[in-house]
Each structure stands twice: as structure tokens, then as C-alpha cells.
């Protein structure tokens, strides 16, 4: 008779449910890559949460960091539940457990493991609450609720959970930053810093009210922010205090705090002139757009509405005139004349140097767009039908227009430099580099049109590539200057232009590096509106790629019409046929009025005063 090694009848029995829990737990962990998630099991008498999962994030210096942004998971597993005819799985959950997860301060999810199909399903507990509320408004009176799972826990779903939790963590951090000490009944209470220097809250408020414009225009945003932080506890403050502090926080990228202060300034809008009210409204709109609270379309409509208000100020008159020009589908020649008239009125009436330079810059933007549009239109007749596009009347006349345009741009730069507006010089320099990029791809592609499409394999002229490479070096320095002065949107404009140039030049690896830098800044300052604006550019939507797509479609339509009329639109043109006269929308460039100069040492002080 065989001898038993041990008495298995007296040993604990294996619970199939416990085995299933182990299996589901092991497989669940594999769904969350360790590079992004730290999974911590709840083992200390938790009443309804199986895992707390913390997000990890790549740091700018390399490696990863813990964020302390977390979400909770309650894991359910079964062998028995069958899929319904609608593809869902129904599961009974205790009402107390749902309430328990809802009380959690972080996002929470139910995850359901269906063992027969080895598949995970998930649902956010807030969505589950919507489910059961829709069926029963008195749901809390029932002991159990039946909830339904349809969403598969795929790689994309895990990424969405990451993004949702990260956004929730950022918001919570912002909210926590608003928890200041309780208001003292005495608003002039004193604060003492580590150097034993005594500051009066009322004196801080008075100082910012009086000198805030000087500090903001001198880019001393940290000084303003430091004084705002010292100005607690306070019962109230002046409207100008809220305005200048809001602008300082906006420039530093602390958008939620900026919006909070600017809304406080808006409450006292009657104390500002119409232009001041418009500036507050515009900055709030810009903040909401950057945070992705409103779309680009909503932002544009709201800014246009401000621009139509009486006495909204020169800035909005400029923006409104430029918007009307951009959206005008009529004859460009008449549209640009109307734009020139609007700009001339602003420049004649505006005594603030900064706003005059903004008007000059908008004129440059408008002229640049029209000159390249005219070059493309006039090239339709000759593209692919001449030996060398650069020898045609179209290109020679366009070069003459370019000389005038570049002289005008340089003259505005000289004016800004004489006025001490160095940030404006940076913006104008950016416009000049953008012109070189647009010129490069227009001339390259228009020179390699063949029949129905561009020859995209045709290499770009090496001398052009070398010039673009030098421009990328200039953009690096310009971006650094903008960053040092905390003009981060302008900094991103530099890097996005560099990305486009590198893509056109075929330098894909360097373009990817530029893209990573852009996303890093967007993540750091939560510029979610800009993320949406830049995503199309990263998805084959650069200026040169858009030009290729739109011009190809345009040329094909014209050629199809020509063929229908019996015209051979593919043969080379004769000398006589090349004698046609191109049409240019800008016939006369109006002179700039540089007669107004700032007083000595005035610099940029008059922008906000």
C-alpha cells in the first residue's frame, strides 16, 4: 500500500475565485507599462480599492519622475458572466462600493476581467454613476446596482486613462495652490521674510498699483509675482493690482492663477477706460484658449467681437482690420487698399510706440501673404512649361517687389531699435526668417512642376539649404532670448518655424528633436490650446506640405478645364507667349510714418500706462 506524503484531506482547499483573482491581477499589471505607471496593491484593510496607480513622467533632464498623480482601480473577475446581445457585460456592484470610489479625490475605475475570453473591460466610476442615475434617481436606496462594461482596456485606453489622470492631477495642483492663509480682519497686516525685512500688504498693493506697468513692461514678472505672494492676507486690492499681477502670472505660464486675478480685475471694469477693459477681456480669452477651455474658432469670434466695440483701442482695431483682410474672398488688390487705409488711421492717431510697431508688423504680415499668393497665381501659366522659372517675367518682377518688401521690413526693425523695443525686433526678425522659408519652398516647388504634380524627389539647391541651416541657428538664439524674457508663445513660434524648415530640408531627426522640445514646453505650462493648434502641423501640415497639396489640386482643376476647351496645357511656351504681363495685387507700397519717437529713456513703458 502506497504511503501518503501528507494528508491532503486536512489541508486548505483552493478557492477557484482566489485563483481567478491572482490570474486577473497578474495579467492586469501587464497592461500598464512600468515606464509610465507604478502599481501599488491595497493590502491594508481597504474596503473597495484594489490598486492605487501613480503616473510617472519623463523629465527634461532625462529619466523619469514620480508625479503623485494617481488613480484608483477596483478589479472584478469572473468565469460565469456571458456577453449580452448588445456586446456588453452586466455586473452587480454594491452601492456602498460605488459611493466609496466616488468619495476618492482622484479618478477611479472599475476594471472587469472576463476569463473565458482573456479580455479586460473598464469604465470610469463617474460614467457608471451617470448610467445608474439615468435609470433610477433614487439609486442610493438600493443595495446593489447593475453596471455594464463595453470598453476594452486596450493600449489606447490605457493612454487615455494616463492623460485623464494627468489632467486631473494638474487641475488639483492648481486648486491647491490657491489655498492661502485665512483673511485677517486687518488688511494692512505685516509679513516678515527670512531676511527679517518687514513688508506691509497695503504698501505692496499700492506699489503694484502705481508701478505695475513699469515692472510688467520691463519684464520683471517675478518681482510682481513675489510681491503678490507677500500681499496676503488681504481683504481686497485695487483693480490695477489685479490686472498687473494677472499679466505677470500669464507671462510666467501660471494660467489658472492669471485667469483668477484677471477675473478679479474684470469685476472692477468700470474703473478702466474702454481700451483697458478690452485688454483684460482679451488676456482672459487668450488664457482660456491656451488652457483649451475654448476652441480657436471661439477665440477668434470673441476677439473679433471685442474689435467691433467702440473705443476698444488701437490693438483691437489692428486685429480686426487684419482679420477682415484675411477672411475677405474678394479681389486682393482692393482688399489690401482698404487694409492700408485702416492701418493709416491707427498709425496717425496712435501715440504709443509699441502699438504703432504692432501696426507696422501687421502690414508686413499682410504684404508677405499677398506677395506669395500672387507669385503662386502668376506662376500657374508658366509652371512646368518653361526651361527655367527663375528666368521668367513673373519671377523677375516678383524679385523687384521682394526688394521693396525687405527694405520696408528692415526699416521697421531700425525704428524699433531706435525706440528700444527689443522684443519687437525679435518678432520682426522671426518674420524675416519666415519669409526666407516661404521663398525657398515656393521657388523650389514651382520650379519642379511636371504635368500633374510636383517632382518631390527633386533635391533642394544646396545653397538654399545652407541659408536655411543658418536661419535655424538664428532661430535657436531668438528662442533663447524670448525664453529669457518669458515670452514663451514667441519662443514656441521660433521652434515651430524651425521644425517646418527642418522638415522641408529633409532633416527629419532634428525636426523630431524640435517637436519634442515644443511638446515639452506645452506640457510644462499646460498650453493645451497650442497643442491642438500644432498637432495638424506635426501631421504633415507644415506650410510647404499644405502648399504642395493645395497647389496640386488648384493646378489640376485649371488643367482639366483647359483640356475641355481643347487647350494643350502641357506643351512648352514660346517666346511670344511668355510676354504676358503678370498681375500684382500690391501696386504701390504706402510709406511708413516713423515721425513719432519716444522720449529719452522711455523705452517700452507706454504700452500699458
In whole angstroms, what is the distance from residue 23 CA to residue 564 CA? 69
Q: State yes or no: pLDDT of 181 exceeds 70.
A: no
Beta bridge partners of 321: none
Cβ(277)–Cβ(240) below 8 Å: no
pLDDT band at 165; cut points 50, 70, 90 = confident
pLDDT band at 606; cut points 50, 70, 90 = very low
Give percent above pLDDT 70 in the chain.
85
Q: What is the pLDDT of residue 50?
A: 87
Q: What is the pLDDT of residue 187?
A: 36
Q: What is the pLDDT of residue 523?
A: 87
Instruction: Copy the grid coordinates of residue 135.
Output: 435609470
Selection from 83-87, 227-231, 499-503 with the highest mean pLDDT: 499-503
Q: What is the pLDDT of residue 15?
A: 56
Do the first three CATH levels of 16-177 and 192-290 match, i.e. the same topology?
no
Q: State yes or no: pLDDT of 311 exceeds 60.
A: no
Q: What is the pLDDT of residue 17?
A: 59
Q: What is the pLDDT of residue 3?
A: 53
Q: State yes or no: pLDDT of 16 exceeds 80.
A: no
Q: What's the length of the chain? A: 609
Domain ranges, ordered by start, for the chain: 16-177, 192-290
Q: What is the pLDDT of residue 432?
A: 93
Helix H or strand E segment including 146: strand 144-149
Cβ(449)–Cβ(555) below 8 Å: yes
DSSP single-letter state for residue 21: H
Please tell me the CATH code under which domain 16-177 is placed. Answer: 3.40.1350
Helix H or strand E segment including 122: strand 119-124
Q: State yes or no: pLDDT of 314 exceeds 70.
A: no
- Decide which of 422 and 171 is more confident: 422
Instruction: Tell me the pLDDT tens digit for each residue of 20-45.
Output: 888 888 899 999 999 999 998 876 54
Q: State yes or no: pLDDT of 373 exceeds 80.
A: yes
- Which residue carries 506640457 as its cell? 523
Q: Which CATH number fits domain 192-290: 3.40.50, 1.25.40, 3.10.20, 1.10.3470?
A: 1.25.40
pLDDT band at 120; cut points 50, 70, 90 = very high
Q: State yes or no: pLDDT of 299 exceeds 90.
A: no
pLDDT band at 249; cut points 50, 70, 90 = confident
Q: What is the pLDDT of residue 196?
A: 40
DSSP per position, 36-63: TEEEEE--SS-SS-SEEEEEEEE-TTSS
Average pLDDT on 416-429 reads 84
Average pLDDT on 344-348 reads 87
- Decide which of 583 and 47 is more confident: 583
Instruction: Tell me the pLDDT tens digit for each residue of 430-476.
Output: 999 999 999 999 999 999 998 899 999 999 999 999 999 999 989 99
Amino acid at each position: 500500500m502506497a504511503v501518503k506524503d501528507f494528508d491532503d484531506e486536512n489541508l486548505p482547499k483552493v478557492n477557484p475565485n482566489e485563483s481567478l483573482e491572482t490570474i486577473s491581477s497578474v495579467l492586469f499589471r501587464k497592461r500598464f507599462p512600468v515606464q509610465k505607471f507604478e502599481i501599488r496593491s491595497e493590502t491594508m484593510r481597504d474596503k473597495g480599492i484594489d490598486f492605487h496607480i501613480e503616473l510617472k513622467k519623463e523629465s527634461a533632464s532625462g529619466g523619469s519622475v514620480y508625479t503623485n498623480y494617481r488613480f484608483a482601480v477596483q478589479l472584478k473577475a469572473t468565469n460565469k458572466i456571458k456577453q449580452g446581445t448588445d456586446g456588453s457585460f452586466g455586473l452587480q456592484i454594491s452601492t456602498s462600493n460605488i459611493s466609496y470610489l466616488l468619495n476618492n479625490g482622484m479618478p477611479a475605475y472599475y476594471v472587469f476581467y472576463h476569463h473565458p475570453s482573456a479580455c479586460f473591460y473598464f469604465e470610469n466610476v463617474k460614467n457608471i454613476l451617470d448610467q445608474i442615475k439615468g435609470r433610477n434617481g433614487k439609486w442610493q436606496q438600493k443595495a446593489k446596482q447593475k453596471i455594464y462594461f463595453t470598453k476594452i482596456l486596450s493600449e489606447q485606453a490605457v493612454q487615455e486613462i494616463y492623460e485623464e489622470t494627468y489632467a486631473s492631477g494638474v487641475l488639483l495642483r492648481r486648486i491647491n495652490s490657491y489655498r492661502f492663509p485665512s483673511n485677517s480682519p486687518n488688511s494692512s497686516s505685516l509679513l516678515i521674510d527670512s531676511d527679517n525685512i518687514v513688508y506691509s500688504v497695503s504698501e505692496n498693493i499700492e506699489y503694484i498699483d502705481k508701478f505695475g506697468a513699469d515692472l510688467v513692461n520691463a519684464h520683471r514678472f517675478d518681482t510682481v509675482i513675489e510681491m503678490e505672494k507677500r500681499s496676503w492676507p488681504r481683504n481686497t486690492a485695487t483693480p490695477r493690482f489685479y490686472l498687473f499681477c494677472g499679466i505677470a502670472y500669464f507671462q510666467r505660464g501660471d494660467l489658472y492663477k492669471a485667469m483668477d486675478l484677471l477675473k478679479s480685475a474684470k469685476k472692477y471694469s468700470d474703473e478702466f477706460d474702454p481700451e483697458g477693459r478690452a485688454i483684460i477681456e482679451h488676456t482672459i480669452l487668450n488664457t482660456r484658449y491656451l488652457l483649451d477651455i475654448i476652441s480657436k474658432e471661439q477665440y477668434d469670434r470673441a476677439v473679433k467681437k471685442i474689435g467691433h466695440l467702440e473705443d476698444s483701442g488701437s490693438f483691437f482695431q489692428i486685429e480686426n482690420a487684419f482679420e477682415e483682410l484675411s477672411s475677405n474672398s474678394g479681389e486682393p488688390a482692393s482688399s489690401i487698399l482698404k487694409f492700408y487705409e485702416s492701418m493709416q488711421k491707427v498709425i496717425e492717431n496712435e501715440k504709443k510706440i509699441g502699438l504703432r510697431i504692432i501696426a507696422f508688423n501687421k502690414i508686413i504680415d499682410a504684404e508677405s501673404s499677398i506677395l506669395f499668393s500672387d507669385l503662386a497665381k502668376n506662376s500657374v501659366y508658366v509652371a512646368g512649361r518653361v526651361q527655367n522659372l527663375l528666368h521668367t517675367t513673373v519671377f523677375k518682377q516678383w524679385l523687384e517687389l521682394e526688394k521693396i518688401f525687405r527694405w520696408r521690413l528692415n526699416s521697421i526693425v531700425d525704428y524699433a531699435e531706435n525706440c528700444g523695443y527689443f522684443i519687437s525686433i525679435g518678432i520682426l526678425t522671426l518674420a524675416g526668417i519666415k519669409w526666407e522659408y516661404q521663398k525657398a519652398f515656393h521657388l523650389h516647388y514651382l520650379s519642379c512642376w511636371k504635368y500633374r504634380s510636383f517632382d518631390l524627389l527633386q533635391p533642394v539647391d544646396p545653397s538654399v539649404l545652407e541659408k536655411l541651416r543658418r536661419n535655424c541657428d538664428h532661430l535657436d538664439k531668438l528662442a533663447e532670448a524670448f525664453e529669457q524674457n518669458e515670452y514663451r508663445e514667441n519662443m514656441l513660434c521660433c521652434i515651430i518655424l524651425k521644425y517646418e524648415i527642418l522638415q522641408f530640408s529633409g532633416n527629419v531627426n532634428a525636426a523630431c528633436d524640435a517637436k519634442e522640445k515644443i511638446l515639452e514646453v506645452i506640457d510644462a505650462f499646460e498650453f493645451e490650446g497650442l497643442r491642438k493648434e500644432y498637432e495638424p502641423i506635426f501631421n504633415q501640415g507644415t506650410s510647404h506640405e499644405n502648399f504642395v497639396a493645395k497647389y496640386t489640386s488648384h493646378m489640376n482643376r485649371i488643367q482639366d478645364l483647359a483640356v475641355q476647351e481643347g487647350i494643350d496645357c502641357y506643351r512648352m511656351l514660346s517666346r511670344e507667349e511668355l510676354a504676358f504681363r503678370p498681375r500684382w495685387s500690391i501696386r504701390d507700397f504706402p510709406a511708413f510714418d516713423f515721425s513719432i519717437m519716444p522720449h529719452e529713456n522711455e523705452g517700452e513703458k507706454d504700452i500699458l500706462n
